[in-house]
């Protein structure tokens, strides 16, 4: 399958240098790129059916975590921003369950797509995960399920909306909330978010939308899904170095197994 049969390359000329540098600038300025109708509608429908077919193999879990996704720090009280718990609940199928001939795999492996990502993200190369679970994931969120406020560990994330819910399930974020590399926690700002005192940006993504997001310093969440239609979203994960596996503890947490 050719990338042109998967991606709306007329609107999103991935190999075009001007387009690449425009995306690069947008990402650096705003921390996010949103490409509506990135996937062709018939491809979205194909992936949606793959998702329906494999849903019985999803690992559903509910976790409580702090926004920093770290173990709690006993130097702070339990109700301090450092340790305050939020809830995340969702289901997920892993790379090994995604069909071998899925357009998701063609896109993930595509050199055109990886070159585009490298240009936009200032990376030299991008590599798949060394473990068999982590590279391509499909997330399911049923009514009432949500992702609590958090900062990502990874410096960027690529998501593709496959099926939007009837209501709720919006991706909400506030950029520039900390500088992780400087060890900044910004308790004051984060507390305002948790208390609902800062109004976040909201992304309404419809099916077929690609989002490229720098979530390490931008706090974000997925609001609770409402209605009977499952929110289905693909996450494409890459590494800047070859041979890297997701940590065993993260695999157990997210997938319920190691391989």
The rounded distance, in Å, linking the Cα atoms of 214 and 178 is: 12
Using DSSP's 3-state secondary structure scheme, residue 239 falls into strand
Q: How many angstroms separate the CA atoms of 213 and 27, rounded? A: 8
Binding piece for ligand AKG, criterion CB under 6 A, among 4-12, 26-34, 152-160, 189-197: 152-160
Nearest residue to 172 (alpha-carbon basis) of 103, 48, 73, 86: 86
Six-digit token pair at 104? 């998701």
| Interface with ligand AKG, residue 159, by CB under 6 A | yes
Interface residue with ligand AKG among 233, 236, 237, 246 (CB under 6 A) is 233
Q: In the bound complex, what is the minimum distance in angstroms from residue 47's beta carbon to Fe ion?
A: 21
152 binds Fe ion (CB under 5 A): yes
- As measured in angstroms, the least distance from the Cβ of 15 to ligand AKG is 27
Tell me how many residues contact Fe ion (CB under 5 A).
2
Least CB distance to ligand AKG at residue 100 (A): 24
| Residue nearest ligand AKG, CB atom distance | 171
The tokens describing 153, both together, are 């560990």
| Between 84 and 139, CB nearer to ligand AKG | 139
Question: Using the rule CB under 6 A, is 112 a contact of ligand AKG?
Answer: no
The residue written with tokens 């797509």 in the block is 113
How far does Cα 171 stand from its chain's mean position?
10
Among 215, 224, 234, 255, binds Fe ion (CB under 5 A): 215
CA distance 152 to 217: 8
Q: Which two tokens stand for residue 186?
A: 């910004």
Our finding on whether 93 is near ligand AKG (CB under 6 A) is no
The answer to whether residues 125 and 240 touch, using CB atoms and an 8 Å cutoff, is yes
CB 153, CB 69: distance < 8 Å: yes
By a kind-dependent CB cut-off of 5 to 8 A, residue 235 interacts, out of ligand AKG, Fe ion, none, with: ligand AKG
* Shortest distance in whole angstroms from residue 40 CB to Fe ion: 26
C-alpha atoms less than 13 angstroms from C-alpha of 3 in its C-beta half-sphere: 17
Q: Which of residues 116-145 bind ligand AKG (CB under 6 A)?
A: 139
Residues that bind ligand AKG (CB under 6 A): 139, 147, 152, 157, 159, 171, 220, 222, 233, 235
């Amino acid at each position: 399958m050719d990338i042109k049969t998967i991606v709306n390359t007329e609107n999103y000329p991935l190999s075009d240098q001007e387009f690449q540098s425009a995306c690069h600038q947008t990402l650096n300025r705003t921390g996010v790129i949103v490409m509506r109708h990135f996937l062709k509608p018939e491809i979205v429908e194909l992936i949606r059916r793959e998702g329906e077919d494999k849903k019985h193999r999803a690992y559903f879990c509910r976790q409580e975590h702090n926004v920093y996704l770290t173990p709690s720090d006993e130097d702070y009280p339990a109700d301090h921003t450092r340790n305050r718990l939020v809830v995340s609940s969702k289901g997920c199928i892993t790379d090994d369950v995604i069909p071998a001939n899925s357009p998701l795999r063609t896109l993930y492996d595509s050199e055109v797509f990886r070159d585009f990502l490298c240009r936009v993200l200032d990376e030299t190369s991008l590599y798949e995960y060394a473990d068999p679970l982590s590279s391509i994931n499909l997330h399911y969120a049923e009514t009432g399920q949500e992702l609590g406020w958090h900062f990502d560990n990874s410096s960027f994330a690529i998501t593709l909306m496959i099926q939007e819910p009837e209501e709720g399930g919006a991706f909400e974020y506030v950029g520039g909330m900390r500088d992780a590399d400087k060890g900044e926690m910004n308790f004051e700002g984060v507390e305002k978010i948790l208390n609902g005192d800062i109004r976040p940006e909201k992304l309404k993504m419809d099916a077929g939308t690609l989002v490229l997001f720098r979530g390490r310093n931008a706090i974000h969440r997925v609001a609770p899904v409402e209605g009977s239609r499952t929110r289905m979203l693909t996450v494409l994960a890459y590494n800047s170095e070859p041979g890297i596996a997701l940590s065993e503890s993260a695999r157990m947490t997210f997938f319920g197994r190691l391989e």
